[in-house]
Amino acid sequence: MLRTAGAAALITATALMAGCSKSTTEAPHKQQVAEVGVFQVQQAPLSITTELPGRTAAFQVAEVRPQVNGLIQKRLFVEGADVKAGTALYQIDPAIYQATYNSAKAALAKAKANLLTAQPKVGRYKDLVAIEGVSKQDYDDAVASYEQAKADVESAAAALEQARINLEYTHVDAPISGRISRSSVTPGALVTANQTTALTTVQQLDPIYVDVTQTSEDMLRLKRDIESGNLKKNGGQARVTLLFSDGSKYAEEGKLQFSDVSVDPGTGNVTLRALFPNPKHDLLPGMFVRAVIESGVDEKAIAVPQQGVTRNPKGEATALVLNKEGKVEQRTLVTGGTLGDKWLVKSGLSNGDLLIVEGVQKVKPGAPAHAAAAKPDAGAAKVAAGGAVPANAKSAQ
């Protein structure tokens, strides 16, 4: 009986071990389906912008120079103040110019007096020559004297006008309205007409220009995108916003005025000029800024989270997509720049695709996967299905 019971126990143990062994060998054949977080790709209108470096430049610049010779008697402005056009800035000693004006005035009076005697003489000689009271030669001489007297009056009048202009030039006035710089001369300095060194400079700061540069390649690419219909051109002048060197935004919005008609052969860049209101004079000439220019509108833009895009050994952008069969598919993308924490995708993804943004390391192309809502990062764009797309973008540089 003991032998029979032992044999039965041995058979039971063997059966249990066989069952366990069978269970362990069959378990690996059941493939586990990974759970991944996805972002549903959606096309949306997107304003495409280009951020370019630039510098401010005054709207108008006038270098003030004397137009007559003389000694500076007074400086009539405060350096760094705002002046109006026509405001007196300097007083040059007018004594010699006043004397010249007085002399020219007297010369004109003398010429007019001579004309008063010459004109009646011509009338009298005309009647006398008809009855041979005077010779024809005397009459011709009287006519010549009259014409010369008229010319003398005109010459004296021109000399008087020139003397008046020179006398006015002793008051050096502001040619334009704007902010005046420091003075290069002091009272007592001798200045000469049209000298090389300016006495001071007046700059109009409201409005103000911002000159930026763009590569000719970027300009041609933008033009082709608009012509092909990939970008919809903004109506009218393109809007421009400014960023200061510390990242803060300038309160006023500007408009693009023109692009240069030639390419700089040294840099291959084209100069763009924008015009900005500057009522508070926050912008000063020579400041470094970054201009954000609206290039156009992409009616079918695609923006996806950066964590869903990687690079292969060739440097190409790739992404994993969960297809309709529930399997992972690898796509090669063409990107067109960044939008905050997102990539702008030109090709490789379509509207409605499920881009894998979480659990990428758990799957590989061809493997099945189960879609789940992705967890949004703090401060990042929402990556759940149907995430919204902001209305501005930064183009690739």
Residue 324 domain-assigned?
Answer: yes
224 and 289, same domain (yes or no): yes
CATH of the domain at 222: 2.40.30.170
231 and 186, same domain (yes or no): no
168 and 189, same domain (yes or no): yes
What are the pLDDT digits (tens) for 354-379? 988 988 888 888 888 888 766 655 33
Cα Rg for the chain, rounded, in angstroms? Answer: 44
243 and 357, same domain (yes or no): no
178 and 256, same domain (yes or no): no
Residue 18 domain-assigned?
Answer: no
Final residue in a domain of this structure, among 197, 225, 252? 197
Residue 139 domain-assigned?
Answer: yes
CATH of the domain at 125: 1.10.287.470
Residue 8 domain-assigned?
Answer: no
Residue 339 domain-assigned?
Answer: yes
72 and 193, same domain (yes or no): yes
What are the pLDDT digits (tens) for 8-44? 444 444 444 445 444 444 445 455 788 888 898 988 8
Final residue in a domain of this structure, among 145, 164, 197? 197
- The pLDDT of residue 397 is 32
Residue 146 domain-assigned?
Answer: yes
Grouping H, G, I as helix, E, B as strand and the rest as coil, residue 65 is coil
* 311 vs 396, more confident: 311
74 and 193, same domain (yes or no): yes
106 and 212, same domain (yes or no): no
Final residue in a domain of this structure, among 242, 275, 297? 297
How far is the C-alpha of 250 from the C-alpha of 54, rounded, in Å?
14
- The pLDDT of residue 123 is 77
- The pLDDT of residue 228 is 61
In terms of average pLDDT, the best of 174-178, 257-261, 320-324 is 174-178
Grouping H, G, I as helix, E, B as strand and the rest as coil, residue 77 is coil
Cα atoms found within 13 Å of the Cα of residue 68, Cβ hemisphere only: 24
283 and 310, same domain (yes or no): no
- The pLDDT of residue 393 is 42
- The pLDDT of residue 363 is 87
191 and 74, same domain (yes or no): yes
Mean of pLDDT values over 330-336: 88
Q: How far apart are the first and last CA of the chain?
A: 92
CATH of the domain at 364: 2.40.420.20
Grouping H, G, I as helix, E, B as strand and the rest as coil, residue 126 is helix
101: containing domain:
66-197
Q: Residue 304 in contact with residue 338, Cβ under 8 Å? A: no
Residue 202 domain-assigned?
Answer: no
70 and 158, same domain (yes or no): yes
- The pLDDT of residue 229 is 58
pTM: 0.64
Q: For residue 248, which phi and psi values (nearest 5 degrees)? A: -75, 155
106 and 215, same domain (yes or no): no
Residue 10 domain-assigned?
Answer: no
If one counts every other C-beta atom within 10 angstroms of the C-beta of residue 142, the result is 22
Q: What's the number of domains the chain is made of?
A: 3
